Amino acid sequence: MTGPAILLLDGDGIGPEIVGATRAVLAAASDRFALDLRFQTATIGFAALDATGTTIDAAVIAQARVADGIVLGPVSHNAYPPVAEGGLNPSGTLRRALDLFANIRPAATRTGLPAPATMPFDLVIFRENTEGFYADRNLHLGPGEFMPDADTAMALRKISRRACRRIAEAGFAHAATRPAAHVTAVHKANVLRVSDGLFLEECRAVAAAYPAIRYEEVLVDAMAAHLVRNPACHDVIVTTNMFGDILSDLAGELSGSLGLAASLNAGSDHAMAQAQHGSAPDIAGAGVANPAALIGSAAMLLEWLGARRSAPALTRAGRAMAAALDAALANPATRTPDLGGRASTDGMARAVIAAMQG
């Protein structure tokens, strides 16, 4: 079997710098564990808009479909022109085109790294990734927002039984591998009785198939308070798109910084590593961007590929990358300036590689 083909998409702002750092770590992991990773590249974002008239074209989507895994750099989609003028959000476009229904976002404190949380914690948020209020993925044709008159804006939220069932199944399957074996469904069914009521129906149906896993339901506003007060009470959180987007940023910051917040967009057939943070154009080109979140996301991608291919070497490589990242973050000298360190983007990548090889 040939090694996995990894498609690298730089994106905008600091994207080329942190994707380059992540590629270096992946290449070192490939050498260390004999993975024979094959790297491919394509252009998206403003560079693609200038070259082709769109921020992501059909050829890139086709390339992503046949790749074994994708590493997506951050994009400045808020600054893009309207969709009619080529300003597609590459992230949302790929999530929808590849049916990446689960956005998996871990958040954990690290030994030796200061964090706002008052106690250690280790949790994972499973965010439904294809529906909700998000206009780039929730309807077959047209956006989910519209204005019936010049002074009124409306938004449609799509929640389907199928999407709720599969994000619940993904969350429970993951919880079954963790010591705490605890799933919390986060919702607002006291107000959104129909849509979040349907979400809870599916979560309860899946919970019945996992009697060994402790299951509870918490309102989203209460969950925000719980995460601030005592995040260690939670293990795997399953929720809808927008709630998961907001709660995962909160959990990431509580763990030490949003610059550490890794994530994996996963479907049945494809997966895409993507840091939770944005493109930070104000520091682009300065060589100080923190690559930790994207390196951690790439480690998750290798573990996903290991499970999909029944390839223990890929699994070991992903875990070794994650452990090496923890080691680099534990040393103030090998952290980037946003974490109080002095390392450059490339310097932090070299520290991760050294820890993995040592």
Q: pLDDT > 70: what percent of the chain?
A: 98
Place of tokens 């993951």: 174
pLDDT classification of 205: cutoffs 50, 70, 90: very high
Domain boundaries, the chain: 1-103+261-358, 116-254
Tens digits of residue pLDDT in 339-358: 999 999 999 999 999 999 98
Distance CA(131)–CA(51), nearest Å, equals 31
pLDDT at residue number 146: 86
pTM above 0.75, yes or no: yes
Amino acid at 96: R
Domains 1-103+261-358 and 116-254 share a fold: yes
Residue 290's alpha-carbon distances to 175, 282, 296, in angstroms, are 29, 13, 11
Residue-wise DSSP of 294-347: HHHHHHHHHHHHHHHHT-HHHHHHHHHHHHHHHHHHHSGGGS-GGGT----HHH
| Mean pLDDT for the stretch of residues 281-294 | 97
Structure tokens at 49: 């808009």
| Domain 116-254 CATH assignment equals 3.40.50.300 | no
> Which pLDDT score is estimated for 144?
82
Of the listed 12, 57, 68, 245, which one is catalytic? 245
Residue 245: active-site member: yes
pLDDT attached to residue 1 = 63
End-to-end, the C-alpha distance of the chain in Å comes to 28
Q: Which amino acid appears at position 196 of this protein?
A: D
- CA angle at 136 for the pair 132 and 141, rounded to the nearest 5°: 95
Position 336 scores a pLDDT of 97
Active site residue 57: no
Give residues with Cβ within 8 angstroms of 328, minimum separation 6.
292, 334, 335, 348, 351, 352, 355
CB atoms within 10 A of CB 133: 15
Q: What is the pLDDT of residues 119-161, one digit of tens each?
A: 999 999 999 999 998 765 667 777 788 899 999 999 889 999 9
Per-residue model confidence (pLDDT) at position 136:
59
Count H helices and E strands in the chain, helices first.
11, 12
Least confidently predicted of 154-163, 196-205, 239-248: 154-163
Digit-coded pLDDT (tens) for 301-353: 999 999 999 999 999 999 999 999 999 999 999 999 999 999 999 999 999 99
Angle at 24 between CA 253 and CA 255, to 5 degrees: 10
Task: Answer yes or no: are the C-beta atoms of 318 and 300 closer than 8 Å.
Answer: yes
Lowest mean pLDDT among 80-84, 205-209, 319-323: 80-84
Please tell me the distance from the alpha carbon of residue 13 to that of residue 1, in angstroms, as a whole number: 36
pLDDT for residue 225 = 97
Q: May I ask the CATH class of domain 1-103+261-358?
A: alpha beta
Q: Point out the catalytic residue in the list 134, 196, 215, 326.
A: 134
| Catalytically annotated residue among 122, 158, 188, 338 | 188
Q: Which of 122, 249, 338, 346 is catalytic?
A: 249
**Residue 158 catalytic?**
no
